[in-house]
Amino acid sequence: MPRSEHGVSRQDISDNALKVLYRLHNAGYQAYLVGGCVRDLLLGLHPKDFDVATNAEPEQVKALFRNCRLIGRRFRLAHVVFGREVIEVATFRGHHVQDEEEQDDKLGKRSEEGLILRDNVFGGIEEDAERRDFTVNAMYYNIADFSITDFAGGMKALKERKIRLIGDPETRYREDPVRMLRAARFAAKLDMQIAPEAGRMIPELASLLANIPPARLFEEVLKLFMAGKALQTYKLLQEYGLFGQLFPQLQPMLKVPGSKECQLLEQVLINTDERINNEQRVTPAYIFAAMLWYPLEARCAQLQAESGLSAYDAFNMSVNDVLHRQQQRIMIPKRFTLPIRDIWMLQNRLPKRFGRRAYQMLEHPKFRAGYDFLLQRAAVEGGELEELAGWWTEFQDADQDERRRMLDALQTRDNKRPGRRRRPRSKKPAQ
Kindly state the DSSP code that residue 70 receives in the 8-state scheme.
E
pLDDT bracket for residue 42 (50, 70, 90): very high
pLDDT digits (tens, 9 = 90+) for 371-401: 999 999 999 999 999 999 999 999 999 999 9
pLDDT digits (tens, 9 = 90+) for 303-334: 999 988 899 999 999 999 999 999 999 999 99
What letters, b where the CB count within 10 A reaches 16 and e where it falls short, cover 1-31? eeeeebebeeeebbebbeebbeebbeeebbb
pLDDT digits (tens, 9 = 90+) for 215-264: 999 999 999 999 999 999 999 999 999 999 999 999 999 999 899 999 99
The single residue of 40, 119, 128, 133 carrying the catalytic annotation is: 133
Tell me the H-state helices in 53-99.
58-64
Task: Return the closest-CA partner of residue 376 out of 366, 365, 364, 388.
Answer: 388
Task: Return the closest-CA partner of residue 69 out of 78, 56, 59.
Answer: 78
Kindly state the DSSP code that residue 427 receives in the 8-state scheme.
P
CA distance 288 to 337: 9
Strand partners, 79: 69, 88
Asked if 42 contacts 7 with a C-beta cutoff of 8 angstroms, the reply is yes
Provide CATH code, domain 1-160: 3.30.460.10
Our answer to whether residue 51 is catalytic in this structure is yes
Our answer to whether residue 105 is catalytic in this structure is no
Task: Return the closest-CA partner of residue 39 out of 141, 119, 170.
Answer: 141
CA distance 125 to 77: 16
Helix axes 384-397, 400-415, angle to 10 degrees: 150
Contacts of 215 (CB under 8 A, 6+ apart): 331
pLDDT at residue number 72: 82
Q: Is the pLDDT of residue 103 over 50?
A: no
Beta strand pairing call for 116-119 and 108-110: antiparallel
pLDDT bracket for residue 413 (50, 70, 90): confident
The single residue of 12, 49, 321, 372 carrying the catalytic annotation is: 49
Strand partners, 71: 77
Residue 125 has a CB neighbour count (10 Å cut-off) of 18
pLDDT digits (tens, 9 = 90+) for 334-348: 999 999 999 999 999
Strand partners, 86: 81
